[in-house]
Amino acid sequence: MKNYKSEQLRNIALIGNAGAGKTTLAEAMLFEGGVLNRRGEVTSKNTASDYTTIEQDYGNSLFSTLLYTEYEDKKINIIDTPGMRAFAGAVTSSLSVVDAAVCVLNSADGIGAGTEGAMRIAQAMKIPVIFLANGMDHENVNFDQLIENAIAKYGHSVTVVQYPVNAGPGFNAIIDVLKMKMYQYGPDGGAPQVLDIPASEKDKADELHNALIEKAAENDEKLMELFFEQGSLSEEEMRVGMRLGIKDCTLYPVFCASAKKNMGVKRFMEFIVNIVPSPIMATPRTEMSGKAVKCDAAGSASLFVFKTSIEQHIGEVTYFKVMSGTITEGIDLVNTTKQGKERMAQLFAVAGKTRNKVTELVAGDLGATVKLKETKVNHTLSVKEADYKFAPIEFPKSLITTAIKAVNEADDEKLAEVLHRLRDEDPSFKVYHSKELKQLIVEAQSEYHLNVIKWYLDNEYKIEFNFVTPKIQYRETITKAAQADYRHKKQSGGAGQFGEVHMIIEPFEEGMPDPKSYKIDGKEWLVTLRGKEEITMPWGGKLVYCNCIVGGSIDARFMPAILKGIMEKMEEGPLTGSYARDIRVCIYDGKMHPVDSNEISFKLAGRNAFSMAFKKAGPKILEPIYNLEVFTPSDRMGDVMSDLQGRRAIIMGMGSEKGYEKISAKVPLKEMNKYTTSLSSLTGGRGWFSLDYDAYEKVPADVQDELLKAYEAEQKEE
């Protein structure tokens, strides 16, 4: 294949709901560009995209797929993205390397949850969007209603460029109000007849043509002046205005097609090469040092990795965008993220599972390579003298958390290895071992997202496993002062062990005065502060360790050992084994032996005295509370509110935002298990939410009793 210049490139991502026909549209575009000699079908499992076994099993796109086609001496790079909101990570990574999104609408089903989710991402990233109303040959198509709904959601930036003459099973004609022509197709699609607009459609076409002229003129003062002077604009002048409007996200042009019958696809490709900005027209990308990196084929070579995959017989395939310069076969680059060297042994232009070798890829192009050593998603490679490092893609926050455990302990290591490999391919998965919970944790977007892991473990790696409800990261603290003393004494021939510690513990609050006296159970203790150590715990909260020893009853050299014993119990709280926090400890007395006292003796004495005092100090379990924001269609508001009340949520406020009802609440993390599934069920898949940690608060008494019983039963089992 030929080498293209930066100005000849167009980079687009196909976004939209599952079932809208994105994969079928991509297939038609590759066919029209001569990259394919026949069009495959999703149902026949032979498309250039959706080529993995799991996607063919599911009948849906689950990963982003890089493709390309050629048209009018231009190369159009296409990324076909999944339509289900569970795979928002793939949409995010794809949009980070393209210059426009094509939002494919299912003309019969309208704007679904997947479309809404993808459009939120595109708008947040300020990616230009073009709408393509697909499936014009389906039954129950109402194009006018579809446009009304799009305008209601995305404003009057939505502007019709094409509309169908006869939408429905007999569909074969499109009116194009930019060219002011009718495209009429034969039963098998392909090349249309280009005809004058029939008289029956003239008034409607003129009205839409004038509306398009006005939208185009709004984007440039000179065009606006021309429009006022002439009352109209030429097709080329309209293109200039539309190009500006699309780039600035003030114009969302609407096209229509039947991708399955290859009707309207070629004209749409013509629009893309004429109107979508090339990479050199895009705003220069700023790398992390603040330097703007121009998309210039003559600049210093650099690339950014947006996707990796592991494929049979090949190994790891690395997909990237050339950010600057020219990447040539055999070039040596530095991974500025990992500080390692990589050689680009082979370069490929990618059409799904078909990879065509090329000798070079210029700034703005998308391509792939194989057999890199350490390079993963979000890594930058550049020539040594440039030392560029581009900001990582911000993947969506996890919405569901589960623990995972191999049925056979012998598979534990293999399971962790496979999960980390899957995470490398899809960074919207998070995988880590929680030392606190003693569980292997997986975070994902939904249960459907987790099913991808299940499929691979069942089918590819043959590992038996179970998803397990994750434990909650509870904390333990105390509510009043308490005193305890403990003597550790052990004699077994030779040197023995002896250490005695007397301590008082109390709840710690920021700004509280230093200790002077305590009254506990009718008895008063006076203490003299000799030294204080304030320790910020890695899991939150503090331990304040006060040395109040007078008269040398415990030698200063044993004080760190006592602290070590206390810290051990802070790491494994006396109530449920959870981390403890916000406690002040005063060591005020004790005893030692001139021969038998040593560090281990005082460590054990301190540990046991702390545990005894803790249980007498009104111990309480704290649970993590999260700030929750739920967005729901107004007609599902009551159901969502009722569900939240059953989850111990405290409603903090309500309002409207982005065409949805917004509920703000505080909710215990314990009650949010599988909430993504529940909300989807309650709202028909249209609701979404975000969770952010707020604080730890005391659990209700009944919940504490339940947790204590569960921990006691667990300890007995062990």
Residue ending a domain, choose from 446, 468, 490:
468
Paired tokens of 715: 């300890």
For residues 265 and 124, state if they share a domain. yes
For residues 610 and 632, state if they share a domain. no
- Contact at 8 Å (CB) between 507 and 479? yes
- Give the pLDDT means over successive 10-residue stretches in the chain (718 positions): 93 96 97 94 93 92 96 97 94 97 94 94 96 95 94 94 94 95 92 95 95 88 80 85 92 96 96 95 88 94 96 89 97 94 96 94 97 95 94 94 96 95 94 93 95 96 95 95 95 81 96 94 93 95 95 93 96 91 97 91 96 95 96 94 95 88 96 93 92 95 91 80
Question: Is 351 inside any structural domain?
Answer: yes
Paired tokens of 224: 């606006």
For residues 455 and 510, state if they share a domain. no
Rounded-to-integer distance, Cα 681 and Cα 38, Å:
40
Q: Which residues, other chains included, contact 448 with Cβ-Cβ below 8 Å and sequence gap of 6+?
A: 84, 86
For residues 168 and 270, state if they share a domain. yes
Paired tokens of 29: 């575009």
Residue ending a domain, choose from 249, 281, 313:
281
The pLDDT, as a whole number, for residue 595 is 85
Name the pairing type of β-strands 193-195 and 252-256.
unpaired
CATH value at residue 136: 3.40.50.300
Question: Is 535 inside any structural domain?
Answer: yes
For residues 100 and 167, state if they share a domain. yes
Question: Is 676 inside any structural domain?
Answer: yes
Rounded-to-integer distance, Cα 353 and Cα 582, Å:
56
- Contact at 8 Å (CB) between 317 and 367? no
Neighbour-count burial for 112-149, b at 16+ CB within 10 Å, e otherwise = bbbbbbbbbbbeebebbbbbbbbbbbbeebebeebbee
Question: Is 232 inside any structural domain?
Answer: no
Give the structural domain span for 611: 476-618
Rounded-to-integer distance, Cα 358 and Cα 351, Å:
13
- Contact at 8 Å (CB) between 630 and 675? no
Neighbour-count burial for 185-209, b at 16+ CB within 10 Å, e otherwise = beeebeebeeeebeeebeeebeebb
Question: Is 114 inside any structural domain?
Answer: yes
Q: Which residues, other chains included, contact 470 with Cβ-Cβ below 8 Å and sequence gap of 6+?
A: 401, 402, 403, 437, 439, 441, 673
Q: Which residues, other chains included, contact 258 with Cβ-Cβ below 8 Å and sequence gap of 6+?
A: 134, 135, 136, 137, 171, 189, 264
Question: Is 205 inside any structural domain?
Answer: no
State CA 402 to chain mean position distance: 16
The pLDDT, as a whole number, for residue 312 is 78
Rounded-to-integer distance, Cα 92 and Cα 168, Å:
33
Amino acid symbol at 581: R
For residues 515 and 634, state if they share a domain. no
| H/E stretch holding 718 | none
For residues 517 and 439, state if they share a domain. no
Rounded-to-integer distance, Cα 686 and Cα 615, Å:
48
Cα-based distances in Å from 446 to 84, 88, 688, 691: 10, 10, 11, 14
Paired tokens of 637: 């508001």
- Contact at 8 Å (CB) between 629 and 663? yes
For residues 255 and 344, state if they share a domain. no
The pLDDT, as a whole number, for residue 493 is 65
Q: At what angle do helices 235-247 and 265-275 cross, to 10 degrees?
A: 80
- Considering all CA atoms of the chain, what is the largest pairwise distance in Å, rounded to the nearest integer? 113
- Contact at 8 Å (CB) between 704 and 620? yes
Rounded-to-integer distance, Cα 117 and Cα 123, Å:
10
CATH value at residue 608: 3.30.230.10
Residue ending a domain, choose from 593, 618, 643:
618
Rg of the chain over Cα atoms, rounded to whole angstroms, equals 32
DSSP one-letter string for 557-584: GGHHHHHHHHHHHHHS-TTTSPEE-SEE
- The residue among 342, 583, 553 whose CA lies nearest residue 479 is 583
CATH value at residue 306: 2.40.30.10
Question: Is 70 inside any structural domain?
Answer: yes
Question: Is 713 inside any structural domain?
Answer: no
Q: For residue 95, count CB atoms less than 10 angstroms from its CB and return exposed for 0-12, middle for 13-18, buried for 19 or more.
A: buried
145-149: long-range pairs with CB below 8 Å, 24+ = 145/110, 146/105, 146/107, 146/110, 146/111, 147/254, 149/110, 149/111
Cα-based distances in Å from 256 to 43, 106, 150, 195, 359: 23, 10, 14, 17, 37
Cα-based distances in Å from 88 to 275, 419, 622: 27, 19, 33
| H/E stretch holding 379 | none
The pLDDT, as a whole number, for residue 494 is 67
The tally of domains found in the chain comes to: 5
For residues 35 and 171, state if they share a domain. yes
* Helix (H/G/I), strand (E/B), else coil: 716: helix
Cα-based distances in Å from 211 to 105, 251, 669: 22, 12, 51
Q: For residue 679, count CB atoms less than 10 angstroms from its CB and return exposed for 0-12, middle for 13-18, buried for 19 or more.
A: buried
CATH value at residue 686: 3.30.70.240
* Helix (H/G/I), strand (E/B), else coil: 191: coil
Neighbours of 231 (CB within 10 A): 9
Neighbours of 552 (CB within 10 A): 8
Q: For residue 83, count CB atoms less than 10 angstroms from its CB and return exposed for 0-12, middle for 13-18, buried for 19 or more.
A: buried
Paired tokens of 334: 């530095």
For residues 660 and 612, state if they share a domain. no
Alpha-carbon dihedral angle through residues 321, 323, 324, 326, given to the nearest 10 degrees: -10
For residues 50 and 176, state if they share a domain. yes
DSSP one-letter string for 593-608: -TTT--HHHHHHHHHH
Neighbours of 498 (CB within 10 A): 21
The pLDDT, as a whole number, for residue 718 is 63
Paired tokens of 166: 């006869």
For residues 517 and 452, state if they share a domain. no
CATH value at residue 449: 3.30.70.870
- The residue among 447, 529, 490, 467 whose CA lies nearest residue 608 is 490
